[in-house]
């Protein structure tokens, strides 16, 4: 396995991403036809399943010795191992997909020794492709290096644009941590808030990470999403100078399948923004405690 040709795998993943993109844009999804998984806000469509089948079949034919973890075929409680593993979300942003909102992507990642190593994130509606190989830089549409502009220093949260996600769990202690933290991030300084420039909730973790990588948002915070939502975007972000830490305060080295993430773009003052952000987190998430 030591001799995996990362460039060849990267190029193959891009070919698959385009093939998946054709399936996604040719589909006619509807809210009525979407099925739900754990609750009515956790959606899945026939296209999610068909794309994952196409991806897993193509990958296992070409790379039979690389393991596969995909959103639609995941067996609960399976942990990522150090063996090379493709980590795939056939449609990240399924809710957007069924509502014909074009913030949708296919997310194709490869982890080796638990480290996100190759990332390909493709939005077929806007034909936007984000790619990266660990140690070799991150790119938009294969040729434009990320971030898109020289990153300004990160001085404090009040100057940041922040992406967050509501996710599909809408009750319980973790939902309270989220909603109270959202309010604290938005609130005026005199009321104890960080008064960020704005909060954005676009509905695709993979594209959110790429937005942080490109510099379109300064930070992204979410708990509850999965390895397939973040693996590919994580490589793109790291290669663009960004950092991923735990959504709960204190842990600078979260695991890919740890289910809690805070991503901060590159730039002077990055670690200070992490500390300030952690100071705004109202409590601690329980999700991911089983995946330390």
Q: Is 205 in the site for ligand LIP (CB under 6 A)?
A: yes
Give me the phi and psi of 201, to 5 degrees please: -135, 95
Nearer to ligand LIP by C-beta: 151 or 261? 261
Instruction: Give first-to-last CA distance, the chain, whole Å.
Output: 26
The DSSP code for 71 is G
* Maximal CA-CA distance, the chain: 59
The DSSP code for 159 is G
**In angstroms, rounded to a whole number, what is the distance separating the alpha carbons of residues 30 and 233?**
27
- Structure-token pair, residue 236: 């793109």
Of 29, 56, 71, 111, which one interacts with ligand LIP (CB under 6 A)? 71
Does residue 94 carry a catalytic annotation? yes
Give the 3-state secondary structure of residue 215. Answer: coil
Nearer to ligand LIP by C-beta: 136 or 200? 200
Give me the phi and psi of 20, to 5 degrees please: -65, -40
Q: Which of 45, 94, 95, 117 is catalytic?
A: 94
Which range of residues in 72-80, 174-182, 191-199, 217-225 is near ligand LIP by CB under 6 A? 217-225
Q: Is 72 in the site for ligand LIP (CB under 6 A)?
A: no
Residues 221 and 81 sit within 8 Å (Cβ to Cβ): no
Does residue 71 carry a catalytic annotation? yes
Nearer to ligand LIP by C-beta: 112 or 259? 259
Q: Which of 229, 246, 257, 276 is catalytic?
A: 229
Q: Is 248 in the site for ligand LIP (CB under 6 A)?
A: no
Does residue 229 carry a catalytic annotation? yes
Q: Which residues are catalytic?
A: 71, 89, 91-92, 94, 229
The residues of the shown chain that bind ligand LIP, judged by CB under 6 A, are: 71, 89, 91-94, 165, 167-168, 203-205, 222, 224-225, 229
């Amino acid at each position: 396995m030591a001799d995996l040709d990362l460039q060849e795998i990267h190029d193959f993943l891009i070919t698959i991403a385009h093939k998946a993109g054709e399936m996604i844009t040719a589909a006619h999804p509807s809210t009525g036809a979407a099925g739900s998984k754990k609750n009515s806000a956790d959606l899945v469509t026939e296209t999610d399943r068909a794309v994952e089948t196409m991806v897993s079949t193509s990958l296992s034919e070409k790379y039979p010795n690389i393991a596969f973890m995909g959103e639609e075929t995941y067996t609960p409680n399976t942990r990522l191992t150090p063996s090379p593993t493709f980590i795939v979300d056939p449609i990240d942003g399924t809710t957007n997909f069924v509502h014909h909102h074009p913030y949708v992507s296919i997310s194709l990642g490869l982890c080796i020794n638990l480290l996100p190593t190759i990332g390909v994130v493709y939005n077929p509606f806007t034909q936007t492709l984000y790619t990266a190989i660990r140690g070799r830089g991150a790119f938009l549409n294969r040729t434009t290096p990320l971030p898109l502009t020289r990153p300004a220093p990160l001085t404090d949260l009040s100057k940041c644009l922040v992406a967050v996600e509501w996710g599909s769990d809408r009750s319980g202690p973790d939902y309270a941590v989220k909603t109270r933290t959202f309010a604290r991030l938005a609130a005026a300084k005199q009321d104890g808030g960080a008064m960020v420039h704005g909060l954005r909730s676009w509905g695709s973790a993979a594209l959110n990470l790429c937005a942080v990588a490109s510099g379109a948002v300064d930070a992204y915070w979410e708990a509850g999403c999965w390895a397939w939502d973040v693996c590919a975007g994580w490589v793109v972000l790291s290669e663009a100078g960004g950092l991923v830490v735990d959504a709960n305060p204190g842990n600078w080295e979260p695991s890919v399948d740890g289910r809690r993430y805070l991503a901060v773009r590159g730039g002077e003052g990055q670690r200070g923004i992490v500390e300030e952000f952690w100071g705004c987190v109202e409590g601690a998430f329980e999700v991911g405690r089983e995946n330390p």
